[in-house]
Chains A and B, each alone.
Chain A
Amino acid sequence: MSAHSGTPSGAHSCAVPILRLGDVLVTGLLNELDDKSAVAFAQELTERISADRARGVLIDISRLEIIDSFVARNLMELTGMARLLGARVIVAGMRPPVAITLVELGLELTGVETALHAEQGMAALGWVQAPQPREGAPHDAAG
């Protein structure tokens, strides 16, 4: 993927890289996320949305093994703030065990848009892949 990596705005760096692809910010959370990093991440991302005039934000969480109420609230607040700043947030790649646990915990990430994986999330944000032969056109339905 070719990308201009975004220049960190200085201040409190949160150790989670945030890349810019056109008007979309792309970032990913790792399996270990402590509370302080989560807060710092939200803050830095919000600043970057504003500074880069981003229109969309993709957060890849496919490596996140645990989402507890703290991280969930963090994601919801982040989405809300981004919306106020005019950007649409898509959270992509949630693992099945994480989804089940969140639902049982009673946290539904209300208002947060989700996508199966980063690719689908980017497509939803308007990044269409160059046309390529679609493997498995509609005939390959499982028999």
Chain B
Amino acid sequence: MTPLADGNRTVHGPATGRADTPGAEPVRLSLTTEDDLLAVRHAVRFAAVAAGFSIIDQTRVITAASELARNAYIHGGGGDLVVGSVHEGARTGLRLTISDRGPGIPDVEAALADGYSTGVGLGHGLGGARRLMDEFEVRSTPGEGTTVITTRWRR
């Protein structure tokens, strides 16, 4: 599979990032138009390939990013997504941080449970995206918005 390096717009950096190069800078993308969703997929795919993820794990992370980005865009009044590699001890992973400017989630626990669909902003269907990732943290302030910080480690 070829990394879709949409270099001119979404990603800066060397074409072949080494997994353990701490120099891979996080990429920030805004989520205000529908085209941004495609840009998100490109950037996350590029980062997942650079981090040495297997095809299956690339697919998991890109899909999770796509879900969360769409939620922030459609239900959360826009926002942004940051994707970057993380190193913790000997582990390498990919971390996504998605923030929206929506009304916030009153009950985060309920939003993470399956079948919750009345949520607004990032709270919309969080359970599915969470199952694709290893770590998943939701911070929400009513009236200000929601931030999801989620990580998947390389196997």
Contact = CB atoms under 8 A, between A and B. Distances in A.
Contacts of B70: 35, 68, 70
Contacts of B77: none
A68 B66 contact: yes
B37 A34 contact: yes
**Chain A: interface size category:** 10 to 19
Contacts of A32: 38
A104 B57 CA distance: 12
A105 B35 contact: no
Contacts of B60: 97, 100-101, 104
A66 interface: yes
Contact of A106 (B1, B35, B58, B131): B131
Given A34-B35, A35-B34, A104-B60, A66 B41 contact: yes
B56 A34 contact: no
A66 B64 CA distance: 10
A96 B67 contact: no
Nearest to A105: B128
A32 B67 CA distance: 15
A92 interface: no
Given A34-B35, A104-B132, A106-B114, A68 B56 contact: no
Nearest to A106: B128
A119 interface: no
B30 interface: no
Interface string A36-72: 1000000000000000000000000000011111100
B47 to A, nearest CB: 15
A98 interface: yes
Given A35-B37, A106-B127, A69 B59 contact: no
Interface string B138-153: 0000000000000000
B50 interface: no
Interface of B: 1, 34-35, 37-38, 41, 55-56, 58-60, 62-63, 66-67, 70, 114, 125, 127-129, 131-132
Given A69-B128, A105-B67, 7 more contacts: A65-B1, A66-B59, A67-B63, A69-B67, A98-B59, A106-B128, A106-B131
30 contacts: A32-B38, A34-B35, A35-B34, A35-B70, A65-B59, A66-B59, A66-B62, A66-B63, A67-B63, A68-B63, A68-B66, A68-B70, A69-B67, A69-B128, A96-B56, A97-B59, A97-B60, A98-B59, A100-B56, A101-B60, A101-B63, A101-B132, A104-B128, A104-B131, A105-B63, A105-B131, A105-B132, A106-B114, A106-B128, A107-B128
Interface of A: 32, 34-36, 65-70, 96-98, 100-101, 104-107
